[in-house]
Amino acid sequence: MASIKYLIQSDKEVVQIYIRLSIGRAKYFKRKVGFTLKSVDWNKQKGMPKLNNNGNKKIASDLRGLTTFIYDALNNAASNGEQINGGWLTSQIDIHFNRVQIVDLDKLLIYCNKFISSMKKSGIALNTVKKYQTTINKIEAFELVSNKTFLVKDVNISFGENFLNYLRVDCKYQDNTASRIIGYVKTICFNAEVNGIRVSPQLKKIKGLKTVKMPFVYLTFEEIEKIKNTLYENPLHQVVADWLIISCYTGQRISDLLRMNSSMIIKEQGFEFIYLTQVKTKSIVQIPIDKNVKEILNKYKGEFPPRVSKHDHSNMVMYNRILKKVCKTAGIVEIVKGNLYNEETERMEVGMYPKNLLISSHVGRRSYASNFFGKIPTPLLMNITGHSSESMFMKYIHKTSSDMSIQLAKILSASNIK
């Protein structure tokens, strides 16, 4: 059981008052309270000032108030799993006597907004900024529900558990999405710590939920051929089908795919390439023009297919929507395991669905990476898809180290290396 005592440490005329907090056998912390008095005015038996003048009476009253405050803080710390040490004791003394001034940047939302402002100025990809903005919006909503303004230092294990529950129950997010948001909050707080803002000692121990491996959907070469050989009555569907084929043989994100144009085509050593700077990573890529892509370019007299809509956002939305119809027309309707939005529950749900309903704009990049894995050296594939590490690439196509070993074994068995 914890105990608190006050003491002085010398017989000088004027001395400091110390607090001694014991929380177990041979485990105690001693810190200055911040009050001084004459040593002759200290009652060693009671561990308190003698009540012989108004000044000493005030100090005695303040010390009793501090005792109550620290016992309450100990109870809260125990429930939150906080680590009790000398720094914690100093902090509680300062808080009780209002010696710690809470500045604006100590407040979680204010620091979040500073963080995202810095991101925008440093040229971070727009999609990344959007993810953090969504996180900030959720923190703001969580503050309203909790009826509390959180400080950066409040982001501890208890906060993580409560916020995670809010994201899953109130926001109806999947476990993977909720865990990613928790990760973004931790990143912001780590940045705050670097900039001198006090954080919880539990910050590193905050955990999300165990990542669930989501069903993996991509188009095989046979399915791409089906899309290629299907006749579409709606001209717009034919345009989307052509873009889909291009995406499966160029491996680009939708933000790069739909802005491709003939001015990006270059020739080098007798080969044709699409030369572009990726929006998300700012990486320059030079994509060889495959025969399937070349056929489509010839079809449009050297140009890429027309846009589905004049406006960029509408272009992406309509492309994503029509993809499912294109795949249905091409007969890609096999019942497979996937992740689909349920309008009734307002949640993404894993189940068995017609494959065409699971096709979305990222399928081209994933199909390219999956279909050519093992056929083209992984570093060359990564150079085209824009993955910054092999581990990220392997995770993206749901491959393991075992798959890499098998790939290497095949290469070695087919080679003449001795």
Radius of gyration of the chain (CA): 31
Q: Give the pLDDT score at 55.
A: 92
Q: Give the pLDDT score at 398.
A: 79
Q: Which residues contact 71 (CB under 8 A, 6 or more apart)?
A: 2, 4
Residue 104 has pLDDT above 90, yes or no: no
Q: Give the pLDDT score at 71.
A: 93
Count the neighbouring beta carbons within 10 Å of the beta carbon of residue 229.
8
Residue 63 has pLDDT above 80, yes or no: yes
Q: 104-205 adopts what CATH topology?
A: DNA polymerase; domain 1 (1.10.150)
Query: What global pTM score does this model have?
Result: 0.64
Biggest alpha carbon distance in the chain?
102
Q: Assign domain 221-414 to a CATH class.
A: mainly alpha
Query: pLDDT of 310-325, one tens digit each?
Result: 888 899 999 999 999 9
pLDDT band, residue 90 (cuts 50/70/90): confident
Q: Give the pLDDT score at 54.
A: 93
Cα–Cα distances in angstroms (integers) from residue 254 to residues 94, 290, 402, in the given order: 54, 18, 30
| H helix and E strand count, the chain | 15, 10
User: How many CA atoms, within 13 angstroms, populate the side-chain half-sphere of residue 87?
Assistant: 6
Query: pLDDT of 164-218, one tens digit each?
Result: 999 999 998 888 899 999 999 999 999 999 988 889 999 999 988 776 677 789 9
Q: Give the pLDDT score at 200.
A: 92
Cα–Cα distances in angstroms (integers) from residue 27 to residues 58, 63, 69, in the given order: 30, 22, 20
Residue 416 has pLDDT above 90, yes or no: no
Mean pLDDT of 93-116: 85
What is the C-alpha end-to-end distance of the chain, expressed in Å?
71
| Domain positions in the chain | 3-96, 104-205, 221-414
Residue 344 has pLDDT above 70, yes or no: yes
* % of the chain residues with pLDDT over 70: 95
370 vs 347 pLDDT, higher one: 370
Residue 109 has pLDDT above 90, yes or no: yes
Q: What is the 3-state secondary structure (H, E, C) of 29-90?
A: EEEEEEEEEEHHHEECCCCEECCCCHHHHHHHHHHHHHHHHHHHHHHHHHHHCCCCCHHHHH
d(CA 398, CA 32): 57
pLDDT band, residue 220 (cuts 50/70/90): very high
Residue 92 has pLDDT above 80, yes or no: yes
Q: Return the DSSP state at 389.
A: S
Mean pLDDT of the chain: 90
d(CA 319, CA 330): 16
pLDDT band, residue 281 (cuts 50/70/90): confident
Name the residue with tokens 């979040």: 112
Q: Which amino acid appears at position 330 of this protein? A: A
Mean pLDDT of 381-389: 87
Q: Give the pLDDT score at 224.
A: 97
Q: Give the pLDDT score at 80.
A: 67
Sheet of strand 3-7: strand arrangement? 3-7, 14-24, 27-38
pLDDT band, residue 100 (cuts 50/70/90): low
Best CA proximity match to 119, nearest among 73, 200, 184, 215? 184
Mean pLDDT of 8-33: 90
Residue 418 has pLDDT above 80, yes or no: no
Give CA torsion, residues 119, 120, 121, 124, to 10 deg. Answer: 70
Residue 263 has pLDDT above 80, yes or no: yes
Q: Which two tokens mark 185?
A: 């909050």
Residue 404 has pLDDT above 70, yes or no: no
Contact predicate 153/106, CB 8 Å: yes
d(CA 118, CA 195): 13
